[in-house]
Amino acid sequence: MASPQSVLITGGAGFIGSHLVDDLLAAGHAVTVFDNFSSGSRENLASVIDDVEIVSGDILDRDAIVAAARGKDVISHQAAQLEITKCMEDPIGDLRTNLIGTLNVLEAARQAGVERMINASSACIYGQAVARPSEEDVHAHDPNWSYGVSKLAAEKYAQVFSSDYGFPAFSLRYGIVYGPREWYGRVLTIFLKRALEGRPPVVFGEGDQERDFVFVDDVVAVHRACLETGLTGAHSFNAGTGVATSIAHLAQLVCEVTGIGEAPVRENVLPGERSALVDGRMRLPAELAVMHLSPAKTERLLGVTPSTTLRDGIAREWSWLREHSGRWTEMHY
Ligand SMILES: NC(=O)c1ccc[n+]([C@@H]2O[C@H](COP(=O)([O-])OP(=O)(O)OC[C@H]3O[C@@H](n4cnc5c(N)ncnc54)[C@H](O)[C@@H]3O)[C@@H](O)[C@H]2O)c1
C-alpha cells in the first residue's frame, strides 16, 4: 500500500469519483473533493462526509483549483462533461470543461509540485473498433464524438505536462463503467429502471452493438494501482474487462438477474431517432458498433485483472437500486 498521501480528487462527488474517495480513505489517504455538483451529489459521499474535505468549485475557475491543489501530493482528475447529447449540442462547452478544465487542473498540479496525477479518460478516444480488443498503443485513436476528441486531447496535454514538469501522469481509458451510484441514462440503467417498474428491457434494433462493461470496483482497483506503481512518465491504460457484451445479451442478463418474467422487447429505432417506448429516449447517432478493451497492458504493467463478472455486477447494482429507487428520476441522456 502507498504511504498516506494528500489527494485532491476533482469530480469526487460523482459516480466513479465517490467510489475512488471511499477507496482512498480506506487506504488512509487524506482526501479533498473538488466538485461543482453539476452531476455529482453529497449523497454519494454520505457515508464519508465527516472524513473528507469538500471544496465546492469549478475546474474552469483556475484560481480555485490552484488553491485547492496547494500542498497536495496527488491529483486524481475525474470531473468532466460526459453526456454525449450535450457534446453534440454544445461541443464548445464540452471542450471548455474537458480541455480548458483539464489544463487548469494540470496547471494546478504543476504549481503544487504534485508527485503524480491520474486522469480519467475514456474508451471513446478509440472511436470505431477496427481491431479488437483495442490495445492502448496499437489501436487507432479516432474518436466518433466530440467528447472523445476532448478526452484524447486531455490525455495529450497530460503527457506534455508530465514530460515538461516531471510528474507521472496516468490516463485511464474507462469502458462502460457501471455499479451502485451510477446515474440514470445509459443502457443498463434504463433496463434496470424498467425492471424496477416490472417491465422488460427495450432493445433498439438488433441489439448487436457490443460494449465492454466494467464494474466500478474494477476501475477503482486500476486507480489504486496507479497510486502505488513505481512507473514514471506518462502512460495510458485501459480500464475494461476484455469481454465485449452485446446489448441483446445484456438485456437477457437483466431479465435473469432481476427475475423479470418476460423476454426483452425489440423496437426499431434508428440512430438519431427517438424511442416510442422509453420515455422519448434518443438512440445516439454515430454509435459505436463495438467497444472492446484489451486488459493486457493494465495486467502487465499495473498487475490488475478485472474480477467482477457482468452478472454479479448487475446483481450488485440491482440490489443498490432497489434500496435507492428514488435516485433515478431524471434521464441524463
Ligand atoms: N461512467 C462511465 O462509464 C465513464 C466512461 C468513460 C469515462 N468516464 C469518465 O470518468 C469520469 C467520471 O465520470 P462519472 O461517470 O463518475 O460521471 P459523474 O457525472 O458522476 O461525475 C463527474 C463529476 O464531475 C463533477 N463536475 C462536472 N463538471 C465539473 C466542473 N466543471 N468542475 C468541477 N466538477 C465538475 C460532477 O458534479 C460530478 O461529480 C469523467 O471524467 C468521465 O468522462 C466515465
Q: Are 127 and 288 in contact (CB under 8 A)?
A: yes
Determine the 3-state secondary structure of 136 from DSSP.
coil
**CATH number of the domain encompassing residue 60:** 3.40.50.720
Cα torsion 47, 56, 149, 225: sign: negative
Identify whether residues 10 and 145 lie together within a single domain: yes
Identify whether residues 198 and 155 lie together within a single domain: no
- The predicted structure's pLDDT at residue 1: 52
What residues are paired with 74 via a beta bridge? 7, 116
In short, whether 293's Cβ falls inside 6 Å of ligand 1 is no
In angstroms, what is the span from residue 207 Cα to ligand 1's centroid? 27
Q: Sort strands 245-246 and 116-122 into parallel, antiparallel or unpaired.
A: unpaired
Query: What is the rounded distance in angstroms from the CA atom of residue 280 to the CA atom of residue 232?
Result: 48
**Which cell goes with 258?**
432481476
- The predicted structure's pLDDT at residue 3: 84
In short, whether 13's Cβ falls inside 6 Å of ligand 1 is yes
Give a yes or no: residue 333 inside a domain.
Answer: no
In short, whether 148's Cβ falls inside 6 Å of ligand 1 is no
Give a yes or no: residue 1 inside a domain.
Answer: no
Q: Is the peptide bond before 285 cis (omega within 30 degrees of 0)?
A: no
Q: How far is CA 220 from CA 23, 29, 128, 214, 313, in A?
A: 7, 15, 26, 10, 14
Identify whether residues 230 and 100 lie together within a single domain: yes
Identify whether residues 169 and 225 lie together within a single domain: yes
Q: Torsion angle of alpha carbons 226, 221, 212, 176, nearest 10°?
A: -90
In short, whether 149's Cβ falls inside 6 Å of ligand 1 is no
In short, whether 14's Cβ falls inside 6 Å of ligand 1 is yes
Give a yes or no: residue 332 inside a domain.
Answer: no
In short, whether 291's Cβ falls inside 6 Å of ligand 1 is no
Best of 177, 211, 218 for a ligand 1 pocket test (most atoms within 8 Å of beta carbon):
177
Q: How far is CA 247 from CA 125, 251, 253, in A?
A: 21, 6, 10
Minimum-distance ligand 1 atom for the alpha carbon of 186: 3
In angstroms, what is the span from residue 185 Cα to ligand 1's centroid? 14
Identify whether residues 104 and 199 lie together within a single domain: no
Identify whether residues 108 and 39 lie together within a single domain: yes
Query: What is the rounded distance in angstroms from the CA atom of residue 105 to the CA atom of residue 117?
Result: 10
Give a yes or no: residue 206 inside a domain.
Answer: yes
- The predicted structure's pLDDT at residue 262: 92
In angstroms, what is the span from residue 10 Cα to ligand 1's centroid? 9
In angstroms, what is the span from residue 268 Cα to ligand 1's centroid? 31
The beta strand positions in the chain, using DSSP E, are 6-10, 30-35, 53-56, 74-77, 116-122, 169-174, 176-178, 202-204, 210-211, 213-215, 234-239, 245-246, 265-267
Structural domains counted in the chain? 2
Identify whether residues 80 and 203 lie together within a single domain: no
Give a yes or no: residue 331 inside a domain.
Answer: no
- Residue ranges making up the domain that contains 117: 6-177+215-239
Give a yes or no: residue 22 inside a domain.
Answer: yes
- The predicted structure's pLDDT at residue 91: 94
Give a yes or no: residue 21 inside a domain.
Answer: yes
Identify whether residues 226 and 301 lie together within a single domain: no
Identify whether residues 61 and 119 lie together within a single domain: yes
Query: What is the rounded distance in angstroms from the CA atom of residue 90 to the CA atom of residue 88?
Result: 6
Identify whether residues 233 and 296 lie together within a single domain: no
In angstroms, what is the span from residue 260 Cα to ligand 1's centroid? 31
Identify whether residues 276 and 221 lie together within a single domain: no
In short, whether 80's Cβ falls inside 6 Å of ligand 1 is yes
Identify whether residues 203 and 139 lie together within a single domain: no
Residue that is written with C-alpha cell 483539464 in the block: 102
Q: Atom 26, ligand 1: which residue's CA is nearest?
A: 79
In angstroms, what is the span from residue 262 Cα to ligand 1's centroid? 34
In short, whether 122's Cβ falls inside 6 Å of ligand 1 is yes
Tell me whether residue 157 is one of the annotated catalytic residues. Answer: no
In short, whether 147's Cβ falls inside 6 Å of ligand 1 is no
Question: Which residues lie below 8 Å from residue 211, measured CB to CB, with a gap of 6+?
Answer: 175, 176, 187, 244, 245, 247, 250, 291
**CATH number of the domain encompassing residue 204:** 3.90.25.10
Give a yes or no: residue 187 inside a domain.
Answer: yes
Minimum-distance ligand 1 atom for the alpha carbon of 57: 33
* Phi (first) and psi of residue 222, to 5 degrees: -70, -40
Q: Atom 25, ligand 1: which residue's CA is nearest?
A: 11
Q: Structure pTM?
A: 0.97
Question: pLDDT means per 10 residues in the chain (333 residues)?
Answer: 86 98 98 97 97 98 98 98 90 96 98 98 95 96 94 98 98 98 95 96 95 98 98 98 98 97 93 89 88 98 98 98 92 75
Minimum-distance ligand 1 atom for the alpha carbon of 120: 41
